[in-house]
């Protein structure tokens, strides 16, 4: 079969390894496996979301409300935006897919950081767009600006805080950059970890309502997969002026999230106390990772997220460390494919982090 030749340039996305795979391949007992690889909230969903999921069992023979009225009403009230300024996706991933297909034609350019969320480039390649990247691991808006002038991208991704490096941009710096972006260029501000960044440093907080009011050529994306603890539910959203949302809606398949997911996400918006606790715990444990790095003599990128990138010198292979940890049942992310000799570790529960430190010392 001759498939679309564009596929030749696409690498299949490699997701974090599931616990089951480690049990199968390395013979580790399931209860001994700890997954610190996909930036999930280790506490899981909050009490309201859990209750909604259990109660929703009665309704799953019905298709969902395709307008996702209740979810948009609750989310809109939270963010201060109208329903026609929102699109719901099966994860914010699906929103990137809508944006890509609604905006880009073959040969159009997409500008992004060198080290950033891998799916942006995969979606771009699917439609034959060219990806232009900066040179650095963390976001440098000076590089973005000069590459923007040189390549005139139609789409720019700012991932703040960024995955997998963990760096975050200041709101004022983003606004100053956006002042210089042509109106015909769409800028995605991916706030998948914004709940964490805003807690750590108020200067990093982006309010989607303010962003799109000041800069109509932007779209803010958020997700329920990280701080909200609903990664398995696949719910994300895009916030943009109504005219942008109207274009994206043309790309959306019907019923693109399940009614279970919509109910869980709506209820999760009422789980504020659970979220605050998880986020405070995250940074308390993060401090232990930083102290551990100092103690062991390697460096890290200060992180505004629920993960930390640990960097190794040339004498040490991050890939080998990740592999040895896996054999002990500790799943982390090797950042080799991002061109970094580093591993990304999701901050877990206290006992999980203890186990990581212990296993790491054994393999290091
Ligand atoms: C996890 C993540 C997303 C989206 O995840 P979904 O589960 O598809 O909502 C988006 N951007 C970044 C940077 C992420 O790390």
Best residue among 89, 157, 162, 226 to mutate for probing ligand 1's pocket (most ligand atoms within 8 Å of CB) is 226
Structure confidence at residue 257 (pLDDT):
97
- For ligand 1, atom 12, name the residue with the nearest CA: 192
When pLDDT is cut at 50, 70 and 90, the band that residue 155 belongs to is: very high
Rounded Cα distance between 147 and 355, Å, is 43
Question: Ligand 1 centre and the CA of 191: distance in Å?
Answer: 9
DSSP state of 260: H
Q: pLDDT of 240-272, one tens digit each?
A: 999 999 999 999 999 999 999 999 999 999 999
Place of tokens 């930083």: 290
Instruction: Output the pLDDT for position 289.
Output: 98
Give bridge partners of residue 236 from the DSSP assignment.
Answer: 89, 223
Task: Please tell me the residue having the least CA distance from ligand 1 atom 6.
Answer: 91
Instruction: Read off the pLDDT band of 9 (50, 70, 90).
Output: confident
Answer whether 134's CB lies under 8 Å from 162's CB.
Answer: no
Q: What is the pLDDT of residues 41-65, one digit of tens each?
A: 999 999 999 999 999 988 889 999 9
**Closest ligand 1 atom to Cα of 117:** 13
Diameter of the chain measured on Cα atoms: 57
Structure tokens at 277: 């606790």
The H-or-E segment that residue 358 falls in is: helix 350-363
Return the structure tokens found at 149: 């002038």
Q: Ligand 1 pocket: which residues have CB below 6 Å?
A: 39, 91-93, 117, 159, 163, 190, 192, 223, 225-226, 231, 236
**Span from the CA of 254 to the centroid of ligand 1 (angstroms):** 21
Q: Does residue 17 register a pLDDT over 80?
A: no
pLDDT digits (tens, 9 = 90+) for 61-81: 999 999 999 999 999 999 999
Q: What is the whole-number distance in angstroms between the Cα of residue 27 and the centre of ligand 1?
A: 30
Confidence of residue 15 (pLDDT cuts 50, 70, 90): confident
What pLDDT, on the 0 to 100 scale, is given for residue 36? Answer: 96
Q: From residue 30, how far is each of 39, 328, 363 by CA, in Å?
A: 19, 11, 21
Residue 166 φ then ψ, to 5°: 95, -5
Q: How many Å lie between the centroid of ligand 1 and the Cα of residue 233?
A: 13
Domains belonging to the chain, first-starting first, are: 5-45+272-363 (3.90.1150.10), 48-268 (3.40.640.10)
Number of Cα atoms under 13 Å in the Cβ half of residue 330: 26
CA atoms within 13 A on the CB side of 17: 23
16 has a pLDDT exceeding 80? no
Q: What is the DSSP string of 114-177?
A: SSS-THHHHHHHHTTPEEEE-S-SS--HHHHHHHHHHH--SEEEEESS-TTT-----HHHHHHH
Q: Which residues contact 133 (CB under 8 A, 6 or more apart)?
A: 111, 112, 113, 114, 116
**pLDDT reported for residue 322:** 96
Q: How far is the CA of 40 from the centre of ligand 1 (A)?
A: 10
Neighbouring C-beta atoms of residue 27, cutoff 10 Å: 9
Q: What is the structure's pLDDT at 32?
A: 87
The pLDDT value recorded for residue 12 is 86
- Supply 328's token pair: 């002990």
Percentage, residues of the chain above pLDDT 90? 91
Q: Which atom of ligand 1 is nearest to the CA of 224?
A: 9
pTM: 0.96
The alpha carbon of 92 and the centre of ligand 1 are apart by a number of angstroms equal to: 6
What's the pLDDT at 231? 96
pLDDT per residue over 181-222, tens digit each?
Answer: 999 999 999 999 999 999 999 999 999 999 999 999 999 999
Residue whose CA lies nearest to ligand 1 atom number 7: 91
Question: For 332, left (φ over 0), alpha (ψ -120 to 50), or beta?
Answer: beta
Minimal-distance CA residue to ligand 1 atom 8: 91
- Average pLDDT for residues 138-159, to the nearest whole number? 98
Task: Give the residue whose CA is nearest to atom 14 of ligand 1.
Answer: 192
* Residue tagged 């106390």 (tokens): 273
Q: Whose CA is nearest to atom 10 of ligand 1?
A: 192
Q: What is the pLDDT of residue 38?
A: 94
**CB-count exposure of residue 170 (10 Å: 0-12, 13-18, 19+):** middle
pLDDT > 70 in the chain, percent: 100
Rounded distance from Cα 160 to ligand 1 centre (Å): 11
pLDDT (0 to 100) of residue 22: 85
- Measuring CA to CA, which residue among 233, 207, 208, 206 is closest to residue 40? 233
Asked whether residue 153 carries a pLDDT value surpassing 90, the answer given is yes
Residue 190 pairs in a beta bridge with 159, 221
Ligand 1 centre from 231 Cα, in Å? Answer: 9
CA of 272 to the centre of ligand 1 (A): 20
Residue 57's pLDDT is what? Answer: 87
pLDDT recorded at residue 20: 86
| Residue 192 alpha carbon to ligand 1 centre in Å | 6
In whole numbers, what is the pLDDT of the chain averaged over residues? 96
- Best probe residue, ligand 1, of 158, 191, 192, 306 (max atoms within 8 Å of C-beta): 192
> Contact 97/250 with Cβ under 8 angstroms?
no
């Amino acid at each position: 079969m001759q498939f679309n030749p564009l596929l030749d340039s696409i690498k299949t996305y490699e997701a974090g390894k599931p616990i089951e795979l480690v049990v199968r391949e390395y013979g580790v007992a399931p209860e001994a496996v700890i997954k610190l690889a996909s930036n999930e909230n280790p506490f899981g969903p909050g009490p309201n979301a859990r209750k909604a999921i259990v109660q929703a069992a009665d309704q799953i023979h019905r298709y969902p409300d395709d307008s996702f009225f209740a979810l948009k009403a609750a989310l809109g009230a939270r963010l201060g935006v109208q329903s026609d300024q929102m699109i719901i996706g099966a994860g914010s991933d699906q929103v990137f897919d809508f944006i890509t297909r609604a905006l880009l034609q073959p040969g159009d350019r997409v500008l992004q950081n060198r080290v950033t969320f891998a799916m942006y480039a995969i979606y771009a390649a699917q439609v034959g767009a060219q990806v232009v990247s900066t040179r650095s691991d963390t976001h440098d808006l000076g590089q973005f600006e000069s590459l923007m002038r040189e390549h005139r991208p139609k789409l720019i991704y700012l991932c703040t805080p960024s995955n997998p490096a963990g760096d975050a941009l200041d709101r004022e710096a983003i606004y100053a950059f956006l002042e210089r972006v042509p109106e015909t260029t769409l800028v995605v501000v991916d706030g998948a970890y914004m709940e964490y960044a805003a807690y750590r440093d108020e200067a990093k907080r982006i309010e989607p309502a303010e962003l799109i009011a000041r800069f109509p050529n932007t779209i803010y994306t958020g997700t329920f997969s990280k701080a909200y603890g609903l990664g398995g539910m696949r719910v994300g959203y895009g916030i943009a002026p109504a005219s942008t949302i109207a274009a994206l809606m043309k790309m959306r398949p019907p019923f693109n999230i399940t009614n279970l997911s919509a109910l869980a996400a709506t209820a999760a918006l009422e789980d504020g106390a659970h979220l605050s606790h998880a986020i405070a715990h995250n940074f308390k444990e993060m401090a232990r990772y930083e102290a551990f790095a100092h103690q062991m003599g390697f460096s890290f990128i200060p992180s505004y997220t629920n993960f930390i990138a640990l960097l190794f010198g040339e004498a040490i292979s991050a890939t080998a460390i990740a592999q040895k940890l896996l054999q002990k049942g500790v799943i982390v992310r090797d950042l080799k494919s991002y061109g970094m000799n580093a591993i990304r570790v999701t901050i877990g529960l206290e006992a999980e982090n203890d186990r990581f430190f212990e296993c790491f010392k054994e393999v290091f």
